[in-house]
């Protein structure tokens, strides 16, 4: 696993670290995910959860007061209560607090059964986990998914973020999402931020939770500290 921080810019604290899958020698996520098939999807999903929690616990993530965000594949979850067993066992073995775990699913994976995903979100919340919808604004659904069920967190896709400082349409869209999220009680995270200009505009639009290379690149089996962002005077 590699870990990338998500910061709460208002006070500079680390809100969470996202666990990102890597190979044993640091191979990138795309190479690893290309090996996932229908036959090994469930085993892969379970292995990722177990490895993320064990690695985070070993690195002392919980002691920092930050959360751990784990990506999961909704199409690999057959019955939420059964699939969560490995997570519960691993957290108990490592002493990692359940309340510090966020499960995020990507909208880029086709959601075959929205009703099933809604049940997953409900079940995970009942165990005390937070849930997040990743890559919002890209992929298969977006507003349609959000109309059927609401996660605790929504992460804006990097395509909405790229060059937002110079793009009136992107600013208008994100401004509308901020209002919607506030009405629904959803925490927004902007991901994929690469420049101080993007960072500054997102802060001005009211997004406090931020993630991207301008803050810190993922650290392979490490917890990189966020850098200070210099904004225009």
Distance, in Å, from the CA atom of 14 to the CA atom of 24, rounded to the nearest integer, reads: 26
- Tell me if 225 is assigned to some domain: no
Six-digit token pair at 223? 């917890």
Check residue 142 and give its pLDDT: 73
- Tell me if 30 is assigned to some domain: yes
- Tell me if 35 is assigned to some domain: yes
Q: Tokens 């994976």 — which residue?
A: 109
The total number of structural domains that make up the chain: 1
> Residues with Cβ < 8 Å from 132, sequence gap 6 or more?
69, 102, 103, 104, 105, 151, 152, 153, 154, 155, 189
**Per-residue pLDDT tens over the stretch 12-59:** 899 999 999 998 887 888 888 888 888 888 888 889 999 999 999 999
Domain that holds residue 135: 2-220
Report helix, strand or coil for 20: strand
CATH code of 139's domain: 3.20.20.450
Sign of torsion over alpha carbons 133, 134, 140, 143:
positive
User: Does this model's pTM top 0.85?
Assistant: yes
Top-confidence residue, 142 or 32: 32
Contact indicator for 196, 215 with CB cutoff of 8 Å? no
70-90: average pLDDT:
80
- Tell me if 14 is assigned to some domain: yes
């Amino acid at each position: 696993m590699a870990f990338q921080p998500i910061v709460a810019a208002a006070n500079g604290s680390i809100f969470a670290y996202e666990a990102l899958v890597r190979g044993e020698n640091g191979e990138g996520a795309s190479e690893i995910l290309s090996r996932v098939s229908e036959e090994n999807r469930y085993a892969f999903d379970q292995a990722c959860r177990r490895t993320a929690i064990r690695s985070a616990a070993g690195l002392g993530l919980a002691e920092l007061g930050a959360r751990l965000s784990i990506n999961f594949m909704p199409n690999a979850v057959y019955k939420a209560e059964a699939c969560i067993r490995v997570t519960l066992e691993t957290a108990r073995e490592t002493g990692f607090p359940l309340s510090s775990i966020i499960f995020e699913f990507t909208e880029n994976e086709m959601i075959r059964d929205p009703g099933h995903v809604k049940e997953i979100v409900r079940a995970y919340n009942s165990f005390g986990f937070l849930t997040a919808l990743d890559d919002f604004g890209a992929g298969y659904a977006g507003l349609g998914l959000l109309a059927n069920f609401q996660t605790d967190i929504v992460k804006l896709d990097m395509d909405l973020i790229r060059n937002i400082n110079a793009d009136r349409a992107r600013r208008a869209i994100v401004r509308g999402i901020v209002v919607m999220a506030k009405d629904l009680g959803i925490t927004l995270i902007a991901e994929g931020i690469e420049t101080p200009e993007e960072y500054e505009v997102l802060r001005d639009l009211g997004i406090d939770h931020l993630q991207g290379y301008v803050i810190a690149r993922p650290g392979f089996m490490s917890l990189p500290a966020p850098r200070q962002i210099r904004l225009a005077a």
